[in-house]
Amino acid sequence: MVEEQEEVTPWSKRFSCFGSLHLLRDLPHRDLHRLARKYGDIMHMRLGLVPTIVVSSPQAAELFLKTHDLVFATRSPHEGAKHLSFGQRNLSFVEYGFYWRDIRKMCTLELLSNHKINSFKSMRKEEVALFIESIQEAANNGHVAIDLSDRVSSLSVDMNCRMVLGKKYRDE
């Protein structure tokens, strides 16, 4: 008599178009943590139709991001990225290769160097001071609730635009 095998992973009960999304509820990070405790630090799932590897420990992450980084460096073609990023040519969406290495080197040396970051220190201080001032002003005007997520998002956009374009997003 052949015994039925116990189900080894939860994703064998997946629906074809939803993958394992039904396993993730309101707090997906906690659901993934629970699954990692049960099935291990490295899991293969399908999130919708996308095959996904979930890595849940620093040691496993180091294997993926340092030791075997070239294996996982390629990005799947993405239709939206083709239209929004000039044919998938920006650093976030370009496939691994000579162009990716060149653009990464340029970003590291020209945009993200300590010298370049430090050159914008006074601008960042100024923007944060304006941010705090706007929150204080809103509080003094009797606003009970202040949408901080919107204001932090605006702060981030303003700082990035000033660094790249030399002016704020909303400036004329």
Backbone phi and psi for residue 87, each to the nearest 5 degrees, phi listed first: 75, 35
Task: Give the pLDDT of residue 13.
Answer: 54
The two structure tokens encoding residue 124: 């960042």
Which tens digits make up the pLDDT trace of 85-132? 788 787 778 888 898 889 889 988 888 899 988 999 999 999 999 999
Predicted local distance difference test score (pLDDT) of residue 5: 39
Which pLDDT tens digit goes with each residue over 46-82?
887 778 888 999 999 998 888 888 887 776 777 877 8
Contacts of 91 (CB under 8 A, 6+ apart): 100, 103, 104, 107
Tell whether the model's pLDDT for residue 3 goes beyond 50.
no
* Token reading at 48: 């919708």
Q: pLDDT tens-digit profile of 129-170?
A: 999 999 999 888 887 788 889 899 999 999 988 988 888 877
Q: Position of tokens 């399908």?
A: 46
Does the pTM surpass 0.85? The reply is no
CA dist 4 to 10, 15, 38, Å?
A: 16, 21, 20
**Would you call 54 exposed, middle or buried from its count of C-beta atoms within 10 A (0-12, 13-18, 19+)?**
middle
Amino acid identity, position 168 = K
How buried is residue 35: exposed, middle or buried, by Cβ count under 10 Å (0-12/13-18/19+)? buried
User: Across all residues in the chain, what is the average pLDDT?
Assistant: 82
Render the burial of 110-145: b for 16+ CB within 10 Å, e for the rest: eeeeeeeeeeeeeeeeebeeebeeeeeeeeeeeeee
Kindly indicate the confidence band of residue 22, based on its pLDDT and cuts at 50, 70 and 90: confident
Distance CA(19)–CA(13), nearest Å, equals: 9
Give the percent of the chain with pLDDT over 70.
87
Structure-block tokens of residue 171: 């400036």
Higher local confidence (pLDDT), 128 or 9: 128
